[in-house]
Chains A and B, each alone.
Chain A
Amino acid sequence: MAEEVLAPMVGKILKIKIKPGDAVQEDDEIIVMESMKLETSVHAPCSGVVKEIKVSEGDRVEEDDVLAVIE
């Protein structure tokens, strides 16, 4: 069962802390984004293995864009 990690708000991707194949726990900080000059952590919605990362550092994203997929 794959779960998508969605961007919680518009902003820029500052840092990606995971790579495909990584195991993550729910609530782990996986991506840091910046919105209105505030750094915000995006946390894993569930535990699992990172299947795919759809953005790279420096990308601008809209709310609800898919950032990564966790399986």
Chain B
Amino acid sequence: MNGGPLDLLAQMGILAVTPGMVFMWVVAGLLLYLAIAKQFEPLLLLPIGFGILVANLPLTGLMEPGEGLIWRFYHYGLQWEVIPPVIFLGLGALTDFGPMLARPSLIFLGAGAQVGVYITFFVARLLGMTLPEAATTGIIGGADGPTTIYLATRLAPHMLGSCAVAAYSYMALVPIIQPPVMKLLTSQAERAIVMKKSRKVPKLERILFPIVATLVTVLVVPASAPLMVMFMLGNLFRESGVVERLSGAAQNELMNIVTIFLGLSVGATMNAATFLQPKVIFIFILGLLAFAVSTASGVLFAKFMNLFLKDKINPLIGAAGVSAVPMSARVVHQVGSEANKKNYLLMFAMGPNIAGVIGTILAAGVFLSMLK
């Protein structure tokens, strides 16, 4: 077997294809279809889909530890915990905390919607998942892609691909998952509530917020620091108004670049051996549960707050505590305007929406400090 034609034949990938791989090609094709034809979170699902496809081609060595090209992206980007914090830098630069600062009580709604994360955690544990696996599954309910990826990499790397795909596909499905839950828990009259105008937030408050928020959150939950400090630094870039170039780089070029490596390497972790397990079905079912429970708890928490508030809030905005930014806020706005054409909830819903991001980072930090 020395350079003969048989040798070449043995090196051809096509003979090493397994049925599991072919199944993964179908999964990859489905995600690529959803990304391209349906525009489901295409920025992530397209590179993830392609990553799945190429990771399931035999003999390529792309994910070979220490050698493979995509393995290097995965190792230095994700295992070294670089990419998710860098993405948060960009998200911070993109995020306007104004709607939340205008009505700080809305922060509680961002916390209320984390209930789904913890309930799912306990349900997953009862169903026989290990503690780290249950935590990783629960965090899907926070509807925050980079946080899910970050936690999965640290706690349950074998579930990374499935959890990321579940998180991003459910985020794309927010307009389908959330409205039935929201409508079930509210009356027509509640949905039609027009909220009182918010106050204008002065510039000084906007600049101080990322600094104060960093101090408060990191002193309470130190394990949340990597994501939190980058998120707040990005926001300080934005609000300070003096480093527009850095703010622009963080939210455009830098974020786009790392998104490529993130999607590709997350997809490439999904090979037939890790994906074709009964657990993966659990992840998808429980992830959906987490989304629905978070939506419900956010709405119920808003109704609870209304018992004490003079200026009633529209309970729909509680659903935006699920931190799919800005999808849940848009859904809230649409459901609200169906009930009352003069209802413009978008900006109000952005408050809990952004608070939800902070809530999910903290929830992940709590899991990390408990389980690491």
Residues in chain A within 8 A of chain B (CB atoms)? 8-10, 27, 35-38, 40-41, 43, 45, 63
Known: A36-B330, A38-B330. A27 touches B346 (CB 8 A): no
A interface footprint on B318-337 (CB within 8 Å = 1, 0 otherwise): 00000000100110010001
Query: Given the interface contacts A38-B330, A38-B333, does A43 sit within 8 Å of B347 by beta carbon?
Result: no
- For window 326-355 of chain B, which residues contact chain A by CB distance below 8 Å? 326, 329-330, 333, 337, 341-342, 344, 346-347, 350
Q: Is the CB of A36 within 8 A of B341?
A: no
A52→B346 CA distance, assembly (Å): 27
Provide 21 A-B residue pairs closer than 8 Å at the C-beta atoms, listed in order of the A residue: A8-B344, A9-B344, A9-B346, A9-B347, A10-B347, A27-B342, A35-B346, A36-B326, A36-B329, A36-B330, A36-B346, A36-B350, A37-B326, A38-B326, A40-B333, A40-B337, A40-B344, A40-B346, A41-B341, A43-B341, A63-B347
A55 to B341, CA, bound (A): 21
- CB proximity of A44 to chain B, nearest CB, Å: 10
Min Cβ gap B168→A in Å is: 18
- Number of B residues whose C-beta is below 8 Å from A? 11
Which residue in A9, A35, A36, A45 is a CB contact (below 8 Å) of B342? A45
Give the residue name and chain of the A residue nearest to B330 (CB): A38
Which residues of the partner chain A approach B346 to less than 8 Å between Cβ atoms?
A: 9, 35-36, 38, 40
Tell me, rounded to whole Å, the shortest Cβ–Cβ distance linking B195 to chain A.
11
**A40 neighbours in B (Cβ, 8 Å):** 333, 337, 344, 346
Closest to A28 in B: B341
Other 12 A-B pairs with CB < 8 A, given A9-B346, A36-B350, A41-B341:
A9-B344, A10-B347, A27-B341, A27-B342, A35-B347, A38-B330, A38-B333, A40-B337, A40-B344, A40-B346, A43-B342, A45-B342
A39 to chain B, nearest CB (A): 10
Closest partner residue, chain B, to A11 (CB atom): B346
Interface centre among A36, A40, A45 (most CB of B within 10 A): A36
| Shortest distance between the CB of A31 and any CB in chain B (Å) | 13
10 shortest interchain CB distances as A-B pairs: A8-B344, A38-B330, A43-B341, A9-B347, A36-B326, A27-B341, A9-B344, A35-B346, A9-B346, A38-B346
State A10–B350 Cα separation when bound (angstroms).
Answer: 13
- Taking CB atoms, residues of chain B closer than 8 Å to A10 are 347
For the complex, what is the distance from the CA of A40 to the CA of B344, rounded to whole Å?
8
Select from chain A the residue with minimum beta-carbon distance to B200.
Answer: A63
* Residues on A with beta carbons closer than 8 Å to the beta carbon of B326: 36-38
Contacts of B330 in A (CB 8 A): 36, 38
A-chain residues with CB within 8 Å of residue B344 when the two chains form the complex: 8-9, 40
User: How far in angstroms is the closest Cβ of chain B from A60?
Assistant: 15
Across-interface contacts of B333 in A (CB, < 8 A): 38, 40
Most interface-central of B329, B337, B341, B350 (chain A CB within 10 A): B341
Q: B158 CB to closest chain A CB, in angstroms?
A: 36
Q: Tell me the bound Cα distance from A8 to B344 in angstroms.
A: 7
Contacts of A9 in B (CB 8 A): 344, 346-347
Cβ contacts under 8 Å, B329 to chain A? 36
- Docked pose: A10 CA to B341 CA in angstroms: 18
